[in-house]
Amino acid sequence: MKTIDIAQILSPDLKSRMRAQDLKLLMVNSGEDAFVLDFSHVKFATRSFMDEFYNLFLKDPKANAFSVTVTNVPEDIKALLDAVSRTQVKTTVIPSDTPEVTFKDVKEFLNYLGSVVL
Protein backbone atom coordinates (compact mmCIF):
# COMPACT_ATOMS: atom_id res chain seq x y z
CA MET A 1 0.00 0.00 0.00
CA LYS A 2 1.53 3.26 -1.13
CA THR A 3 0.95 6.52 0.76
CA ILE A 4 0.62 9.70 -1.29
CA ASP A 5 1.01 13.09 0.39
CA ILE A 6 -1.53 15.07 -1.63
CA ALA A 7 -0.04 18.48 -0.76
CA GLN A 8 3.44 17.37 -1.80
CA ILE A 9 2.35 15.71 -5.05
CA LEU A 10 -0.33 18.20 -6.17
CA SER A 11 -0.35 21.32 -4.00
CA PRO A 12 -1.57 22.45 -0.57
CA ASP A 13 -4.26 24.36 -2.53
CA LEU A 14 -6.40 22.05 -4.65
CA LYS A 15 -8.15 24.29 -7.13
CA SER A 16 -9.07 22.40 -10.30
CA ARG A 17 -10.57 19.18 -11.59
CA MET A 18 -7.42 18.63 -13.64
CA ARG A 19 -5.39 18.14 -10.46
CA ALA A 20 -7.66 15.24 -9.44
CA GLN A 21 -7.27 13.76 -12.91
CA ASP A 22 -3.47 14.19 -12.64
CA LEU A 23 -3.56 12.28 -9.36
CA LYS A 24 -5.49 9.42 -10.93
CA LEU A 25 -3.05 9.27 -13.83
CA LEU A 26 -0.14 9.08 -11.38
CA MET A 27 -1.84 6.27 -9.50
CA VAL A 28 -2.73 4.29 -12.62
CA ASN A 29 0.83 4.54 -13.93
CA SER A 30 2.40 3.55 -10.61
CA GLY A 31 1.34 -0.08 -10.92
CA GLU A 32 0.28 -0.20 -7.25
CA ASP A 33 -3.02 -1.77 -6.26
CA ALA A 34 -3.71 0.14 -3.02
CA PHE A 35 -3.19 3.75 -1.95
CA VAL A 36 -3.52 5.88 1.15
CA LEU A 37 -4.18 9.49 0.19
CA ASP A 38 -2.90 11.74 2.98
CA PHE A 39 -4.52 15.18 3.13
CA SER A 40 -2.69 16.32 6.28
CA HIS A 41 -0.87 19.26 4.64
CA VAL A 42 -3.72 20.39 2.38
CA LYS A 43 -4.84 23.93 3.23
CA PHE A 44 -7.62 24.56 0.69
CA ALA A 45 -9.76 22.69 -1.84
CA THR A 46 -12.39 23.98 -4.25
CA ARG A 47 -15.72 22.29 -4.70
CA SER A 48 -14.80 21.45 -8.29
CA PHE A 49 -11.65 19.61 -7.17
CA MET A 50 -13.57 17.71 -4.48
CA ASP A 51 -16.36 16.85 -6.91
CA GLU A 52 -13.88 15.39 -9.38
CA PHE A 53 -11.96 13.66 -6.58
CA TYR A 54 -15.17 12.09 -5.27
CA ASN A 55 -16.24 10.92 -8.74
CA LEU A 56 -12.81 9.48 -9.60
CA PHE A 57 -11.98 7.74 -6.33
CA LEU A 58 -14.89 7.42 -3.92
CA LYS A 59 -18.20 7.25 -5.82
CA ASP A 60 -17.67 3.77 -7.24
CA PRO A 61 -14.67 2.09 -5.59
CA LYS A 62 -14.90 -0.89 -7.98
CA ALA A 63 -14.38 1.37 -11.02
CA ASN A 64 -10.63 1.59 -10.35
CA ALA A 65 -8.01 -1.14 -10.56
CA PHE A 66 -6.78 -0.04 -7.12
CA SER A 67 -8.23 0.62 -3.68
CA VAL A 68 -8.14 4.06 -2.07
CA THR A 69 -8.12 5.05 1.59
CA VAL A 70 -8.34 8.72 2.53
CA THR A 71 -6.68 9.92 5.73
CA ASN A 72 -5.94 13.09 7.73
CA VAL A 73 -8.58 15.20 5.98
CA PRO A 74 -8.93 18.64 7.61
CA GLU A 75 -12.41 19.33 9.02
CA ASP A 76 -13.34 22.05 6.50
CA ILE A 77 -12.30 19.89 3.55
CA LYS A 78 -14.10 16.89 5.06
CA ALA A 79 -17.27 19.00 5.29
CA LEU A 80 -16.89 19.93 1.61
CA LEU A 81 -16.34 16.27 0.64
CA ASP A 82 -19.45 15.28 2.62
CA ALA A 83 -21.47 17.99 0.85
CA VAL A 84 -20.26 16.78 -2.54
CA SER A 85 -21.15 13.17 -1.70
CA ARG A 86 -24.70 14.19 -0.75
CA THR A 87 -25.24 15.86 -4.13
CA GLN A 88 -24.12 12.82 -6.11
CA VAL A 89 -27.47 11.08 -6.13
CA LYS A 90 -28.88 9.63 -9.30
CA THR A 91 -32.00 11.44 -10.46
CA THR A 92 -35.22 9.50 -10.70
CA VAL A 93 -37.44 10.06 -13.70
CA ILE A 94 -41.09 9.96 -12.78
CA PRO A 95 -43.18 8.70 -15.68
CA SER A 96 -46.14 10.81 -16.72
CA ASP A 97 -49.58 9.50 -17.71
CA THR A 98 -50.26 12.71 -19.63
CA PRO A 99 -50.17 12.29 -23.41
CA GLU A 100 -47.74 14.41 -25.38
CA VAL A 101 -49.36 17.28 -27.26
CA THR A 102 -47.81 18.95 -30.30
CA PHE A 103 -48.80 22.13 -32.12
CA LYS A 104 -48.35 23.40 -35.65
CA ASP A 105 -48.03 27.05 -34.66
CA VAL A 106 -48.39 29.53 -31.79
CA LYS A 107 -52.07 30.19 -32.52
CA GLU A 108 -52.89 26.50 -32.11
CA PHE A 109 -50.89 26.46 -28.87
CA LEU A 110 -52.76 29.50 -27.49
CA ASN A 111 -56.11 27.95 -28.44
CA TYR A 112 -55.12 24.81 -26.56
CA LEU A 113 -54.14 26.81 -23.47
CA GLY A 114 -57.50 28.62 -23.61
CA SER A 115 -59.32 25.30 -23.59
CA VAL A 116 -57.51 23.84 -20.57
CA VAL A 117 -59.78 23.59 -17.54
CA LEU A 118 -58.08 23.88 -14.17
Question: Do residues 9 and 37 lie in contact, with contact meaning Cβ atoms separated by under 8 Å?
Answer: no
Q: Architecture of domain 2-115 in CATH?
A: 2-Layer Sandwich (3.30)
Condensed to tens digits (0 to 9), the pLDDT of residues 48-65 reads: 999 999 999 999 888 888
Tally DSSP H helices, then E strands, for the chain: 5, 5
Q: CA-to-CA distance for 77 and 43, rounded, in angstroms?
A: 8
Condensed to tens digits (0 to 9), the pLDDT of residues 89-113 reads: 777 777 888 888 899 999 999 999 9
Q: What percent of the chain has pLDDT over 70?
A: 97
- State the pTM of this model: 0.73
Question: Do residues 36 and 69 lie in contact, with contact meaning Cβ atoms separated by under 8 Å?
Answer: yes
pLDDT band at 118 (very low <50, low <70, confident <90, very high): low
